[in-house]
Each structure stands twice: as C-alpha cells, then as structure tokens.
Structure 1
Amino acid sequence: MTDQFGTITWWGFTPALDLQDTDTISALNNLKLDTDEGKDTLNILLVGAGDIRHILQTIARSYRHKKRKLHFYIIETQCELYCRDLLFMSLFLELPNRMGLQEKAELFLELYGNLLVRQQSMEYVQKMSNELIKMVTDFDYLEKTLPCIDLSQLKFKERDFMEGIFKFWRNPDPKFFDVEKMWDLRLQRDLGVRYDTRDNVFDWDYHMRLVEREGDIIHAREYKNWRKYGIAYEPREGNYDVPNRTLASGVLVKHEGERLAKRGYWGDMLVSPYISFGIHSEDKTLFKKNNNMYAKMSWHVSEFNILSLLHEIINKEKYVPPQTEETKENKTATITEITEEEENEGDNTEKTDSTETASQSNPAKDEYESLPLDDVKITFLPVMSVADLPRKSKYKKLFDIIYFSNSLVHLLTSDLTPIYADTATIIAESARYMLQLKDEKVGEFFQKVKGIAEKAGCQVYEVDEPAKQNYLKFTYRRQQAS
C-alpha cells in the first residue's frame, strides 16, 4: 500500500531555509541575482514542501535583509497539509498575552512530530478547529483574524474538504483514529519477519544510515523511540496518550475489487521529524561534545530553533536564551538577607502577577487574534495545480524563487518557464536524508535532477560531493529578444 516514507509529507526531509539569504538565492558560484536587489516584492512558489518551515524561517529573519514584501504561494499534494499549515501559522501568530514563547514552541513541536500528544494539546487543536472552520468558510472573518492568509484561489470542493478535516480534528472520540494500532500494523507490514527484532533494525538504520548522512546530532535513544512509538518530542512531563488527529490522512485501498478511502497514518516512519529543525542551528554551543558525544540532543536544537523563530517574528532581533543573559549580567553571586515582611510582600506580588497572567492568557472566551504581518502574504493554490499556472496570465514572469520537494522535482520542466521571473532561482530538495537510498543512489538523484533542470533551460553548477548537499540550486535567465 505504501512504503516507509508514506504517501503524504508531514514534515520536510531537509533543514529549514531562509529564502532571502544570499547563500540560498545566489547560485553556487555566488552569482548575484536580480532577486536580491531592486525588487519591492519577492514572489516565492513552494511546490510540495510538506510543511511551512521555509516560510517561518524566511519571515522570522526578514528583518536581516532589505525591507520588502514577501508573497508565498503554496502548492501541496493533499488538503490535509493545508490544514496543518493554517494551524501552525495560527499558533505562531498567537498574541503574546494569550500564549508565551515557551508554550508555543513546545506545543508546535508536539503537534508537529508526535503521533501521541497530551490531552491539553488536543484541546487546543479542538478549540482552534472552530476558528479555522470559520476562516475557510468566511473570507471576511479570515481577513479580520489572519489577514496574511489568502484562500481565495482554492476550489470550493477543497475548502469543503478542509472544513471536513477540521470537524474531524475537533471530534474527541478516540475510536475514529486508533493511531497506536495503525502505527504498529504498518511496522509489521514494513518490517515483515524482522518485526520481532525491530529494535535491532532501528539501531542499524540509525548507525548505518542516519549517522552516515551526518545526522548524529539526533541521539540514538530519541530516534529509536520515535521509530517504535511515533513520539519525537516530549517537552514536558505528562501523559502522551491522545492521538494527534492532525496527522490523519486518507488513501485509496482496494477491497473486493473496489477502491475505498481509508483514514490512517500514512506518513513517514523512517526519516523522522528531526531533520527540519533539529540538525542545524546558529547557536553552535548546542553542538558541543563531551567524550566525543553531543551534550545536547536534536530536540534541544529543535526547541531552540523554534524559540528563535518565534522571538524574531515578534522582536526583530536575534534570540538570546534567558540563561545566557543572566550569565552576562550576573557574573558574581551575592547573598542578601530577606526579612519576613519582604518575603510575604514578594509572595503576594507573585500571586497577583500569576493571576493576571492567567487571566490574560486564557483565550477560551475571546475570538482568535493574530500578530500583524504587514509585509507578508501567503496564498494557497489548488492542490497539484502546478501545470495550470503557465496558462494564467497573472502568473506570467511572477516567481523569483521556485522550490520543489524531492518527490515533485519531476515537475521542473520547460513548460513552467513562463511563470519564472526574467532571473529566477530554482531550489530542489535533495535526496540526502531519504534513508532508503544508498549513497550512490543519492548521487544519481542529483544527476537526474541536473538533467531535468538543464532541459528546462536552467544553469546548473557542479558541486563537490553531491550526495552531501541538502539542496540543489539552479538559476534561470530568460533570453531577451534582440
């Protein structure tokens, strides 16, 4: 029915990119592109990214670059991915007085990569489902609450389908999505006779596949725990026993000669959610080693990166962890005596502050409100509508950056060149972390994509060790009529 990669891409198989960074939008020979100068709006098309990691990173770091508007266009393979994108954008843009950065980061990671979550996490999804239903069915409400999102290009049937997905999310009955059983049945089918020795299989995949692809910041314990139970992040102590309905999708299966839709977990069971946010970071202290082993794990890196993005979106400055600030400001410790009156006064103040915070951060009675993103627009295009874009005049020469996932890079053909700007950057996700492929197959994938890009009129640059590239980057320059 499906292999270990699944039929739907819930998370990316390469790290998040800042799409305005010169290392991203410049060709591999550091060619300066027109997209980096003289344009007020950068139009970016994301084809099959699977999540919004690139959007989040690009928005969060936009203050580091020339001020201009960012317009993202998203095309995915299934409506469930649009629903997750909306949920995570809503979560990221929650007002600070409704939810703190730490809580946002923990909730995001939990919903992003866990098959099972805490009860309070699914209660948040259920509450937001009501808001999201109003957004997809009432564009006036969407404009009021989440104005950076544009759903007007979606077909009516797609918006109806999304409404049905949100209604499924808010249904608390666990019998409709017995995800633990689904996960175990897929393990049995994928591993076959190796199922009884699955711990050894997971250990071999980790050491002989993942670590060899430079994924050793991912700790063996966290990777094997995810392979066995589908739980990648446990940021807080608690019971992770509620099915994460946002990871439910449907496939068509044959039964007695008929094709029937079956809901289940049909995503990745091999690579893991850690790749997107958990293997690279600007904070190099996270990668310190003791006795040739990393002191931190991938979930620490992921948490720091998400906190950084949340902080930068709000404050337009780099994130510095609180303990680092304290270390800088308090280089010496002093001991002072606290009187009984002062202690009581402090207790009363603390209780008052906590009560006020609790009352401010309780969103149950209020309509959803979002942080303003004045220079950002995110347009959702119809599912798998790439081939339709060149036939519409409004997309002619529009896109400065075009991103393809490794599963949809075959769509990079000469038929799409009418929608490229006169000078454009094309980014293709590599197969580096597709762990079922051997190293030579990863290199062959690069050569295949290179051939596709050349046929499409793109300029391709040779790289050393293509099997170790996260992304394959090309430039397109339209020939001007003489």
Structure 2
Amino acid sequence: MWGYSYPLDLQNEVTRREDQILDNLEVLIVGAGDARHIMKTLASSYMHPSQSITYHVIESSLEQVARSILLLSICLEKNLGLQEATRYYLEILGNTLLRPATAKYLAKCTKQLIDIPTCTIDCPWLSLEKFKHKDRDNLESIFKFWSRATCEGVPIINYWDRRIRKSLKTRYDCKEGVFDWDYYMVLKPRCINNLTIQEYRFWRNNGVAFTWLEGEPARSNPTLLNNIIQYGPGFIHYAYLGDIVNGPYFTWAVTEKKEDKKATDIAEREIMRAIHEIRTKEPLCEDYVGAHRDASILNGIIINEMPDIETENESWTNVGDKSKLDDKISWVEIPNHKIIFHPATSLELFKSKYEYVNRFHLVWIAHNMTKQLENLAPLASTGAPVIVESRKCMADLRKEDLENFTEELKELAQKNGLRLVHDFDSNEHTFAHFCKN
C-alpha cells in the first residue's frame, strides 16, 4: 500500500554518475508501492538541465497501480489549493479513515478517473497501453468501486482490528505493550527521528496515521482494500491485507536531524514542497509551511479517540454539486515526463524482449522484489545505477533478519553482474547502490 523508504530524485541519481546529459532518460521502478519517486523527480526537475524522462512502472497489483494514478492526479491537479492537495494526498496514502471533505473529493475524483483506462479522457502524462483490455477493465472496476464505497461506507476499522487480533493472538489484550516495544526498541533507534509514540500507537490501533485539528476522520478509505473484483452489479474484495506494523511514515516523514515537529508535520511540509515545486518550478518558502496553524498545537496529537462506527458506515446518497462532478480534471503540464505502467507479468517477459535489454538508465527495486534481480539486471544499461530498497524500516524484522537480507542481496547482485558502489548494511542504510558491469 505504501513504500518503506524516502523518495529519491531519480534524475539526480543518474546524472551524478554520467559524464554527459542524456536527451531521453528511461527509468524502471519496480514495486515502489506508491508514486513518491516520480513525484520527487518531477518536483526537482527544475534544478537539472532540461531532459525528457520516461518512467516505466511495475506494481504487484492493479490496486497499487490505481492508487499511484490517484496520488499523481492529486499532485498535478490545478484546481486544488496547496494545503488542500497536501492533506488529500497524505490521508489517502496512509489513513483508514478520511475527513468528510477528503472523502467527498475522493468520490468525485475517482468517478472522473474511471474514464482513464477506457481512454475516454485525455491524460497526457500517463500511458496504460501496455495493459491488456482485461486489465484495463479491472482498473476501471477499481475506480468504480472506490467511488461507490466512499459513499456507501465499508467497515475498514473492523477489518483492521481483525488483522491486529490475528497477528497478536494471545497478546492482543496487552497490545499497547507490543506497540511500545516495536516503537522504542526498533523503529525509533533504527529509522525515524520525528515519529512520536502517540502517532505510532494511534496508527497501530486503528490505521489513522496523519491527523489535524481541522476536521475529524470519519469516512472509510476504500483505496486501502485489496483484490477488488466486479461481481454482477456489485463488487467483492478481500478486506484490508496491507501493513499493520510499520506505517506510512517512511515515505515522506524521514529527516536526518531531530526537529521540533511530529511526523505528520514533517510529511505535510515535504508533500507541500513537492507539489509547490511541480507547479511553480521554484523552491517553497519555509515560512509558508505551517503559517496557517497555531504554533501551540503543531506538535500535539490532534485525535485522541475514534469516531462512532455508525458515522463511518453512514451512506451518502449524493456527494457534492452534480455540475462539479461533470467537470474534467485539469492537470499541470509536465511535457518532458511520461509515466508508463506495465503489468506484473512483464517482470518475467522483459529480459526475453530485445527492446528492453540494456535499455534503462536506472532501475529501482523494492525490498520484496529482490528475487527478481535475475530478470531485472539484464534490463539495465552498462554502468547504470541499480538501487535496491533495504528492509531497515520493518519493525517485524530483527537484526539477524536484516544481516541475512544484506548477505543474500550482495550474493544475488554479484551473481547477476551488479557491482556494489557503496558499502551496504540493511541495519544502517535505506538503499543498496549497485552498478551494472
């Protein structure tokens, strides 16, 4: 549902290793879980020489493809205010419950995104041409389900609690102690400076990661549900199967130094900066961030108790002004950037297709996709960086697990013609940097 590493400016990762600037940069992103690297690269592009970039993206499920499209659409939509877009992004990314305003936006936006897989809406920054018609139909069904489920409500907090009970078993009655152990003994020293125990504990209990004073989360976020299939006039799904241990904080809330802010505030600042830079091609004034908020509450946890479950499941028969629903989304122009999604089956097929062998100037691989190195290494061009996400930020793994991951990754990379550029230890480093021999 989300990644476990901070976003990278992929253009910077390539150009700092190249003697000459390439006219067209092609990067392959495998299993990132969200669109953070694309968003960061878009935001930073004004700081680099003009260059066309094609992002080839492979995700393990169509739900993750749909979520990436939705999150990118939020970042690029012209008609959203900066703070508005920032909070929509963070809530949809990492909260089981949304504020009513965010839920209304989600219902409206996904109703419009339904037309993207059928190509009845012009989306110049996106291509789904690599998907078969069946996959496009399933993507359309996912957007339809999200729009309907946002209005009708789904018991996502019940789904969350079932996962917690199944995971902890007999330890469920002392779950607060389990949460505190994971925070103090694993995540705090290993991964993140600004995540507070209150934020982490609240998220572990109910899946709400980011909260603000302005509005209470009360509506289900159906974009976190899995295996959505259209069945007759309705839909079936596999409840919530995502992360219940680590949280979505490692994508945008990681900073090298301890600041007098909680993770929500850091993430809000970084998302706001990225969206501003995409829109204006200029850096964001630091004084703007948080200027609308009372400094006395910047570091406090806003929500202390959950809303009534009846509110979560209350059905909306009509969302917003009908005339506004008919408005087409207007996106910021990004003429030098193109995002192409590929089906998961491409992982095995690419290395046997001449057009993809030695094609990519950078390959980024998620921590759970390392077994695919055999298929992915031949796709990188000679000298290209291959970046692999580590498992450093996974609270359910201990030191020995990370040491094993480090050794296995090094061995697998060497076997597939990849040279380690910097020393790598999954206990210490967020990424392993390799180079194609």
Which residue of structure 1 lines up, in the alignment, with residue 268 of structure 2? 303
Relative to structure 1, the CA distance from residue 363 to residue 176 in structure 2 (aligned partners, 3 Å threshold; closer, same or farther) is closer
Q: Which runs of 4+ in 1 moved over 6 A?
A: 173-176
Map 1:55-134; keep pairs closer than 5 Å: 55-95=38-78, 98-134=79-115
Which residue of structure 2 lines up, in the alignment, with residue 399 of structure 1? 360
Given that 1:106 and 1:235 are in contact with CA atoms closer than 8 Å, whether structure 2 keeps it comes out as no
Which residue of structure 2 lines up, in the alignment, with residue 3 of structure 1? none
What does the per-residue CA deviation read over 1:66-98, in whole Å, with 9 as the maximum and x for residues that have no partner?
A: 220111001011000011011111111111xx2
Deviation of the 1:280 alpha carbon: 2.3
Map 1:332-481; keep pairs closer than 5 Å: 363-413=324-374, 415-461=375-421, 463=423, 465-477=425-437
Deviation of the 1:274 alpha carbon: 0.6
Which residue of structure 1 lines up, in the alignment, with residue 303 of structure 2? none
What does the per-residue CA deviation read over 1:204-256, in whole Å, with 9 as the maximum and x for residues that have no partner?
A: 1110111121423101100100000110111343231211011111299xxxx
Secondary structure (helix, strand or coil) at the match of 2:381 reads strand
Given that 2:199 and 2:209 are in contact with CA atoms closer than 8 Å, whether structure 1 keeps it comes out as yes
Deviation of the 1:276 alpha carbon: 0.4
Given that 1:177 and 1:264 are in contact with CA atoms closer than 8 Å, whether structure 2 keeps it comes out as no
Deviation of the 1:42 alpha carbon: 1.1
What amino acid is the match of 2:204? R
Deviation of the 1:435 alpha carbon: 1.3
Secondary structure (helix, strand or coil) at the match of 1:469 reads coil
Distance 1:207 1:274 in 2: 15
Deviation of the 1:45 alpha carbon: 0.4
1:318 partnered with 2:283:
yes
Relative to structure 1, the CA distance from residue 77 to residue 185 in structure 2 (aligned partners, 3 Å threshold; closer, same or farther) is same
Map 1:256-335; keep pairs closer than 5 Å: 262-280=237-255, 287-288=258-259, 295-323=260-288
TM-score (norm 1): 0.79
Which residue of structure 1 lines up, in the alignment, with residue 17 of structure 2? 33
Deviation of the 1:15 alpha carbon: 1.0
Distance 1:323 1:186 in 2: 40
Deviation of the 1:38 alpha carbon: 3.3
Deviates more, 1:266-275 or 1:123-132: 123-132
Distance 2:193 2:181 in 1: 13
Deviation of the 1:396 alpha carbon: 3.0
Which residue of structure 2 lines up, in the alignment, with residue 226 of structure 1? 203
Q: CA RMSD in A?
A: 2.2
Given that 2:63 and 2:227 are in contact with CA atoms closer than 8 Å, whether structure 1 keeps it comes out as no
TM-score (norm 2): 0.86
Which residue of structure 2 lines up, in the alignment, with residue 357 of structure 1? none
Relative to structure 1, the CA distance from residue 172 to residue 432 in structure 2 (aligned partners, 3 Å threshold; closer, same or farther) is closer
Distance 2:63 2:114 in 1: 13
Secondary structure (helix, strand or coil) at the match of 2:264 reads helix
Distance 1:325 1:202 in 2: 29
Q: 1:208 aligns with which of 185, 190, 205?
A: 185
What does the per-residue CA deviation read over 1:332-380, in whole Å, with 9 as the maximum and x for residues that have no partner?
A: xxxxxxxxxxxxxxxxxxxxxxxxxxxxxx9545211111001000000
Given that 1:15 and 1:280 are in contact with CA atoms closer than 8 Å, whether structure 2 keeps it comes out as no
Distance 1:92 1:324 in 2: 17
Distance 2:26 2:421 in 1: 23
Identity of aligned residues (%): 31
Structure 1 portions without partners, runs of 5+: 1-9, 27-31, 253-260, 289-294, 327-361, 478-482
- How many residue pairs get matched? 400
Deviation of the 1:112 alpha carbon: 0.7
Deviation of the 1:16 alpha carbon: 1.1
Distance 1:315 1:235 in 2: 26
What does the per-residue CA deviation read over 1:124-153, in whole Å, with 9 as the maximum and x for residues that have no partner?
A: 111112211111112xx44x3x20100111
1:161 partnered with 2:138:
yes
Q: 1:53 aligns with which of 25, 36, 52?
A: 36
Secondary structure (helix, strand or coil) at the match of 1:380 reads strand
What amino acid is the match of 2:366? S
Distance 2:336 2:208 in 1: 36
What amino acid is the match of 2:255? H
What amino acid is the match of 2:386? I
Structure 2 portions without partners, runs of 5+: 230-235, 292-322
Relative to structure 1, the CA distance from residue 92 to residue 229 in structure 2 (aligned partners, 3 Å threshold; closer, same or farther) is same
Distance 1:124 1:462 in 2: 44
Relative to structure 1, the CA distance from residue 68 to residue 461 in structure 2 (aligned partners, 3 Å threshold; closer, same or farther) is closer
Distance 2:207 2:149 in 1: 20
Secondary structure (helix, strand or coil) at the match of 1:276 reads helix
Q: 1:17 aligns with which of 4, 8, 11?
A: 8
Distance 1:325 1:111 in 2: 20
Distance 1:113 1:325 in 2: 20
Structure number with greater Rg is: 1
Distance 1:324 1:67 in 2: 28
Secondary structure (helix, strand or coil) at the match of 2:368 reads coil
Given that 1:427 and 1:474 are in contact with CA atoms closer than 8 Å, whether structure 2 keeps it comes out as yes
What amino acid is the match of 1:270? V
What amino acid is the match of 1:20? Q
Secondary structure (helix, strand or coil) at the match of 1:309 reads helix
What does the per-residue CA deviation read over 1:157-215, in whole Å, with 9 as the maximum and x for residues that have no partner?
A: 11111111111111147777311111111111101111111111111111011112142
What amino acid is the match of 1:199? E
Given that 1:250 and 1:266 are in contact with CA atoms closer than 8 Å, whether structure 2 keeps it comes out as no
Given that 2:421 and 2:435 are in contact with CA atoms closer than 8 Å, whether structure 1 keeps it comes out as no
Secondary structure (helix, strand or coil) at the match of 1:71 reads strand
Secondary structure (helix, strand or coil) at the match of 1:42 reads strand
What amino acid is the match of 2:243? D
